[in-house]
Structures are given as C-alpha cells and as structure tokens.
Structure 1
Amino acid sequence: MSDQAKLSEALDAVAAGRMIPYLGPGVSGLSPDVPASPDALCAHLEAEVRVPKRASGNLWSAAQYVESRKFRATLNDIIERAFAPGLGQPNAVQRAIATMRPAMIVDTWYDDGLLAAMQCQADWGWVQGVSRNGEWIEIWTRAYDTTGAERPEGPDTGWDTLVYKPHGMARKGSSFLMSDSDYVEVLTEIDIQTPIPEEVRARRTGRGFLFLGCRFDDQMLRTFARQITKRSGGGHVAVIDGALTRMEGKFLDEMGITRLDLPPEEVTAALSAPV
C-alpha cells in the first residue's frame, strides 16, 4: 500500500472516530504569517530580544531568558503579536479536521486557528495547558465551552469534540507554556499523567493517533507526545516529510508509529478529495 493510500485510510479512521488527530506547528503554519515551527518562533523572539549564545536557537531557553530579564509581560506581548495575524483565519486542514468532528483533537501549537474552524460546529469545547507564572493555586489546565466561557468543573464529558491544547494559546487574556520555568513542574508530573485532564485520558482510550505537521526532533516535543498517547489504542501514523533525525527515528520505532514520507500538500489534497 502506498503512503498516499495509508494516509487516506488514516483520515477515514479519524472520520469514523477510531483515530485522534494530533496537530503540530506544521499544520498551523499553513495559515498566512503564522510561525510554522519552534525554530521559526524562536527566531521571531530573538529578532526582538538578543539572547545569550547558550539560549539561542532553543525556544524554551530563549523564552526563559526573556521572562527572567525582561519580565513575563514582555514575553507574552512578543508571542501574542507573533500569532496575531492568524487570528480567526483557519486553514484548509484545520477546517477539514473540524468538519470530521472526532471525539478529540490534540492541537499543540499556540494559534487559535483550529478553534476558529470549530465555530461552525455544535457541542464542543476545549481544554488548554496554562502557565503557573503568577498563580497561587495548583493548576495545570483550564476548560472552556464553545462561547469561550470558562468551565471551572472542567471539560463536559458529553461534548461531541474536545480540543486539547496542551501548551496553551497565545491570545490576549489566555495563557501558554513556553519558558523552562513553565515546564519544570509539568515535566515532573507528566509521567504520572497529573497535568493531563481525565477527559483527555478517557477519550484516547482504544484510539490511535494521526500526527500531522509534527516533528519529534526536540526532547520536549517527544515527551509530550509520549505521555499524551500513553495507554491509547496504538496503531499510530505520522506524516513527516523528508529526512528524520536519529532521535526521531528512535522515537517512531519506540512508539510503534508508522511514518508516511509525504509533503503537507498531500495532506491538504487528501482532505479535499471527494468522498
């Protein structure tokens, strides 16, 4: 079976509710002016604040430097402006995934394009990771309904679709994880699943994941993918174009992920193909 046929089969499984889409920066980057990778976002950050050589090129370390030396408000402002041009402009992949109405969509980038795409759907909501910077309570996530109203009780188990944004969202009035200090407690607890909402754990049960627009060349990204997919149904598929790093190859083997070497255009074409 060709990689194109395997992709079509995986997308059919998403539509049938057997697989969960796991969207990375590469999907968000299909929208105009949205940074399409951690490297691109780091370059944007470094264009505004000069960071030391030891932090240069690493998004999480560069963000920590800005937060420590220029305060959190400066980091928030830079990142929110980086994603502002894409607000309310979902791309073709985000719209198509939203139309499928899977039980859950994992959206790992900081834009709100998928949430905008979901606005034409009914009976859904989202839960996102939040920074504990400035918080006085132990908090990992916040949940919101389709209107954007916060749900202190967490996600509704009856929602048709739950959007899970583990790293949060770069939108004014929202919250996101980016600096090393944001992640330190999350990474300490994530192996025992504490930061992952119970409803996310429930909806992944018995289902595989389809990774679109993701790379696994960073330990942070591998850790989150490993823990979010823990105790799921297996049979994962990842669309990754081009050469893999050594660590990416090891990660795919470890996780039992079938890799499809296809460019993003193939995903767009497969989603727009007539049924």
Structure 2
Amino acid sequence: MSPYDQLEQAMIEVAAGRRIAYLGPEVSALSGGSAPSSPAALCAQIEAQVRAPRRVQGNLWSVAQYVESRKFRATLDKLVQDAFAGDTPGSNPVHDWLARVRPSMVVDTWYDDGLLRAFDAASQGTEDWGLVQGVSRNGEWIDIFTRAYDNTGAEVEAADPAWKTLIYKPHGLARKGGSMLISDSDYVEVLTEIDIQRPIPEEVQRRRTGTPFLFLGCRFDDQMLRIFARQIAKRSGQGHVIVTPGPLSRMEARFVEEMGATWLDLPAEAVAEALSVPEG
C-alpha cells in the first residue's frame, strides 16, 4: 500500500470515528494568510518587536518567557494575538472536511482559530460541538489548566459528553479574550502534572480511549511538543499514523519508534489531495 493509500485509509477512519485527528501548524498554513505557520515563524515575529538575548533567540518558549519577564504578560499576549490577527485567511480544506464529517474529537495544537471558524460556518444552527482549551495560569488565583466553551463561545463548567465533536486545543488560543500556553513558565506549570494526566480534561481522556491518532502537519523536533503528544495519546489505541515530510531529525525518528507509529513521508498538502475519498 502506497503512502497516499495509507493516508486515505487513515482519513476514512477519522471520518468514521475510528481514529482521532491531531493537527499541527502545517495544517493551519493551508488556510493561507499572513499568520505564522510554525513556532519558528511566530518566534521571529515576536523577536521583530522585542530584541531578545542571543542565548534564547529562535526558541519560541524562551523568547516568550523573556518578553513576559521584561515587558509583562499583557505585552506578550498582545504580540501573539497581533501575529494571528492579520488578513482573513481563506478556506482550509482540512478544517472544512473535519467540520463536515464531525468526528468525536479533534486535537488542534496551533494557536489560530481556523478550525473553530470552520465548525461555526458548518453548524447551521446545530449545537453539537464545543471547545476545551489550555489556559495560562499566569494571573490565575485558582487551580486551573483548561477552560471549556460551547459552540456559541459561552464558558461552561466542563466539556459535555453529549457534544458530537470536542475540539481540544491544548496550547490555547491566540485571540482577544483567549488564553494560551507559550512561555516557559506556562509549560512548567503543566509539565509538572501532565504525567499523572491532571491537565488533560476527563472528556478528552474518555474519547481517546482505545482510538489511535492521525498526526497531521506536526513536527516533533522539540521536546515539549513530544511530551504533549505522548501524554495526549496516552491510553489511546495502537497504530498511530504520523504524516510529515522528511527528513526526520534523530529525536523525531525516535519519537515515531516509541509511539509505534507509521510515518508517512508526505506534506500537509497531500491531505487536501486525499479529500476526494468517500467519507465513512
């Protein structure tokens, strides 16, 4: 079976609810527009506004920590929100497809709101989906890792098991009024607890049980991103598929092996080409 055939099969399984889509920045980039489409690109935009020390340059999480420490959190939030608030991006074939087939859960790891806009456009008055997003604990006075919202944007106590689709954005959302994990201190709070799964919402844990993942447009050349992926996929099913172009770094190759995953050496654009397959 060719890599394209394997990709099409995995996408059929996502549409049928037998596999969970896990989206990275390269999927968001299919929307076009001027928003950054990788951690490196977002880091460069922040550094264009605030000069960071040489020792942290090029590392998004460390540069964000420098801005937070020297310029305050509100400045960091505004810089990131502004980076994603440029021209309106176009239609995204992957987001539109997921909004149409309504799988049980989608994990979206980038900071943009493209997937939410696609679901909102496809809702047609239905209220069968909602969002859980990671939030920074900076400035919080309560023990909190995530917040949940229904499809109108109203905050709710927790994800509703009755939602047909749960959108999980573990790193948060870069738009006004939102919250995100981006600085080193944000992640320290989460990583101290993630091994015992406290930051992972109960409904996410329930929906992933026994179901493998399809990782689309993600790079795993950063330790923190690998930790998040491992923990989100914990106690899920076997047979993960990772779609990302090579060459893989040494640590990415090790990650693929540790996850017991099949690596498909394909770009995110290959997903759009596979969308003509029958759904379900």
Matched, 1:267 2:268: no
| Letter in structure 2 aligned against 1:156 | D
8 Å contact from structure 1 (residues 88, 116) kept in 2: no
| Aligned counterpart for 2:129 among listed residues 107, 124, 127 | 124
TM-aligned CA deviation for residue 45 of structure 1: 0.7
Cα distance, 1:37–1:89 mapped onto 2, change above 3 Å: same
- 2: CA distance, partners of 1:10 / 1:273: 11
Stretch moving more, 114-123 or 125-134: 114-123
Give the alignment of 1:1-275 within 5 angstroms.
Answer: 1-31=1-31, 32-85=33-86, 89-119=90-120, 120-121=122-123, 122=126, 123-151=128-156, 153-273=157-277
- 1: CA distance, partners of 2:179 / 2:258: 32
- 1: CA distance, partners of 2:143 / 2:88: 30
RMSD: 1.2
- 2: CA distance, partners of 1:61 / 1:187: 15
TM-aligned CA deviation for residue 272 of structure 1: 3.9
- 1: CA distance, partners of 2:21 / 2:213: 6
Return 5+ residue gaps in structure 2 as ranges.
none
- 1:137-172: CA deviation from partner (whole Å, max 9, x where unpaired): 110000000000000x20001100000000000010
TM-aligned CA deviation for residue 239 of structure 1: 0.6
- 1: CA distance, partners of 2:93 / 2:276: 8
8 Å contact from structure 2 (residues 81, 175) kept in 1: yes
- 2: CA distance, partners of 1:115 / 1:109: 12
TM-score normalised over the length of structure 1: 0.97
8 Å contact from structure 1 (residues 191, 227) kept in 2: yes
Secondary structure of 1:262's aligned partner: coil
TM-aligned CA deviation for residue 34 of structure 1: 2.1
Cα distance, 1:136–1:90 mapped onto 2, change above 3 Å: farther
Return 5+ residue gaps in structure 1 as ranges.
none
- 1:176-219: CA deviation from partner (whole Å, max 9, x where unpaired): 00001111110000000000000000000111100011000000
TM-aligned CA deviation for residue 264 of structure 1: 2.0
- 1:117-143: CA deviation from partner (whole Å, max 9, x where unpaired): 111133000100000111111100000
8 Å contact from structure 2 (residues 8, 277) kept in 1: no
- 1:73-94: CA deviation from partner (whole Å, max 9, x where unpaired): 1111110011112667551111
| Letter in structure 1 aligned against 2:176 | K
TM-score normalised over the length of structure 2: 0.95
Give the total of aligned pairs. 274
- Percent identity over the alignment is 66
TM-aligned CA deviation for residue 62 of structure 1: 0.2
